[in-house]
Amino acid sequence: MNKRERHFAVCVDNADYEASLILRKIYEIIPDEVAAKDDLLRIVDESGEDYLYHKSHFIMVEFPVEVEHALLATQGIRA
C-alpha cells in the first residue's frame, strides 16, 4: 500500500463559515485536483463532512512526520 502524502492547513479566516471552520485550527486537506484549479481546498470541516473552501481561508503548513502522526491520531486516522 502506498503511503499518500498528507497536507495540512491552518484556518486563518472563517468569515461566513463560523459554524464550519474554527480559526487557528489545523485541518487535513483531501487531495482534489479539479478543485485546486479553481483555488479551492477540500477540507473535512466541523460537520465531519468534506466541503470546498477557497484557499484564502487557510495557510498551508508542513510538519515533521511525528507531528503529522500525532495530528492524525487525534482524529483516529492511521498515518
pLDDT value of position 70: 82
Residue 47: inside a domain: yes
Residue 2: inside a domain: no
pLDDT value of position 1: 30
Residue 34: inside a domain: yes
Residue 61: inside a domain: yes
pLDDT along the chain (79 residues), means of 10: 69 96 95 97 94 98 83 66
Residue 79: inside a domain: no
Number of structural domains in the chain = 1
Global pTM value: 0.80
pLDDT value of position 78: 56
Residue 48: inside a domain: yes
Residue 50: inside a domain: yes
If 0-12 CB within 10 Å is exposed, 13-18 middle and 19+ buried, where does residue 21 land? buried
pLDDT value of position 2: 37
Residue 25: inside a domain: yes
- Residue 25: domain span: 7-74
